[in-house]
Amino acid sequence: MMAPWRPLALAAALNMTVVVGITTAQTVMVTKAPRGGTIELALNANAIGTATADATGKATLPVNLSARGTRTEADVQVFVDVCGNTRRVVLVEPGLQAQPPTVDCSRRELPGVFLMRSVTTLVVEVAASAPAVWVRQGPVPIEWLGEESSSISSKQLHRPSPTGLILSGGGGMGSLGNVTTNECGGVATCSGKTSQLGYVGGATIWLTSFLGVEGSYAKSANATVTGSDAYLHFANTTSTNLVTAAAKVGIPLGAVRFYAKAGADRHQSTSTTTQTIDDRSYVTADGATQSVTGGTQKFVLRTAGWALSFGGGMEVWLGSRVGLYVEGEQAKLKGPSRDGDPGKMNDQMTSIRIGLLLRLIGR
């Protein structure tokens, strides 16, 4: 009878895709052993193999259940004995007796029971402080063996771009295209700072490696415009929030994926203008002096609306779960006042961003 925890062990074993070779029988791969140390493998009460750890602390030993009886698969618990520079991996089937540790050894039990099938590989870290185990029904991910990035770069190029649910977060520059022109009008001296840092967060579901859908939220720092004339001074601040939904088309090239996207965005903007008119005096035609008292006024225009957006970028996957991205996007900002005022928004936001990707679900 299959133990009730077996599906959990199988599910945990099937969530990575970069591989280092083809496994044709049950195999135990040992990592983080003392360099040149002796590696022993036991099944229940019997020693079934020995090897010497290489210069990187790794060794591989076959299990081959079919050669040791009529079974082709079995559930096993995993124990690690630490004996000086010797490491012993003990596989024990439930209900059977384990090979006892010798006097000079300390035994660590690794939690869980694992299904060993005809193509199972167990990767066992045998570090004295914290042994650990991973199981894979087939070839194992290269990351499990702790290889240096320089030695696996060519393999990483052949890693497929992942599918499933991927979260993203990052930042970059966002620029409003028309706010300075719109606010300055005919004012003699006027300038604006419309390119500002901002942040973005979102989620993409890649249905396949080349087709996905994305939702995101972006917020840029406020754009500012200041201007002055003979008796007039003003300062404008525009803040914008942007929610975007888009379809994405990708071109996967191993661990790199180029993509284009297009969709709809909804903006919410608040434009606040503080205007000051100076006190001034003038002489009338009959020679009298007249004074005009100035003052300060504040105008607030809040807009919202839907428009189109498009963009594109590139993903680079550093592993099966973590990657980086860089992208550019242009979003139209159009919409009337949210308060019934006569003003409206008619602008566009251009953004360049870089950020982090995290795959949650998928492969």
- Mapped to the 3 state alphabet, what secondary structure does the chain carry? CCCCCHHHHHHHHCCCCCCCCCCCCCEEEEECCCCCCEEEEEECCEEEEEEECCCCCCEEEECCHHHHCCCCCEEEEEEEEEECCEEEEEEECCCCCCCCCCCCCEEEEEEEEEEECCCEEEEEECCCCCCEEEEEECCCCHHHHCCCHHHHHHHHCCCCCCCEEEEEEEEEEEEECCHHHHHHCCCCEEEEECEEEEEEEEEEEEEECCEEEEEEEEEECCEEEEEECCCEEEEEEEEEEEEEEEEEEEEEECCEEEEEEEEEEEEEEEEEEEEEECCEEEECCCCCEEEECCEEEEEEEEEEEEEEEEEEEEEEECCCCEEEEEEEEEEEEEEEECCCCCCEEEEEEEEEEEEEEEEEEEC
**Is the pTM value of this prediction over 0.85?**
no
Q: Is there a single domain that holds both residue 54 and residue 146?
A: yes
Report yes or no: 116 and 74 within 8 Å, Cβ to Cβ: yes
pLDDT of residue 160: 73
Instruction: Using the 3D structure, point to which of 125, 151, 177 is the last residue of a domain.
Output: 151
Structural domain includes residue 1: no
Say if 84 falls within a structural domain. yes
Mean predicted confidence (pLDDT) in 9-20: 38
Question: In which domain, by residue range, is 348 found?
Answer: 164-226+238-268+303-362
Tally of domains within the chain: 2
Q: Are residues 34 and 173 in the same domain?
A: no
Q: Is 189 contained in some domain?
A: yes
Check pLDDT > 60 for residue 144: yes
Token output for 241:
């929030």
Q: What is the pLDDT of residues 241-294, one digit of tens each?
A: 999 999 999 999 888 999 999 999 999 999 999 999 888 777 777 777 777 787
Q: What confidence tens digit (pLDDT) does each residue in 157-203 have? A: 456 788 999 999 999 999 988 888 888 887 888 988 888 899 999 99
Percent of the chain clearing pLDDT 70 (strictly above): 88
**Is 7 contained in some domain?**
no
172 and 119 fall within a common domain: no
pLDDT at 147: 55
pLDDT > 80? residue 324: yes
Half-sphere exposure of 41 (CA within 13 A, CB side): 21
Same domain? 190 vs 333: yes
Same domain, 214 and 325: yes
Residue 108 and residue 175 in one domain: no
Q: Please tell me whether residues 115 and 177 are part of one structural domain.
A: no
Tell me, yes or no, whether 219 lies in a domain: yes
Which contacts qualify for 90-97: CB closer than 8 Å, 24 or more apart? 90/42, 90/43, 91/28, 91/41, 91/42, 91/43, 91/44, 91/63, 91/116, 91/122, 92/43, 92/44, 93/44, 94/3, 96/44, 96/45, 97/44, 97/45
Of 128, 151, 174, which closes a domain?
Answer: 151
CATH number of 218's domain: 2.40.160.20
How far CA 341 is from CA of 23, 151, 337, in Å, comes to 70, 63, 6
145 and 176 assigned to the same domain: no
Q: Who wins on pLDDT, 151 or 272?
A: 272
Q: Check whether residue 187 and residue 317 sit in a common domain.
A: yes
Tell me, yes or no, whether 102 and 142 share the same domain.
Answer: yes
Domain boundary among 87, 119, 151: 151
Domain-embedded: residue 275:
no
Examine residue 203 and state whether it is found in any structural domain, yes or no: yes
Domain contains 3? no
Q: Are residues 99 and 140 in the same domain?
A: yes
75 and 172 belong to one structural domain: no
Query: 111: phi > 0 → left, psi -120 to 50 → alpha, else beta; which?
Result: beta
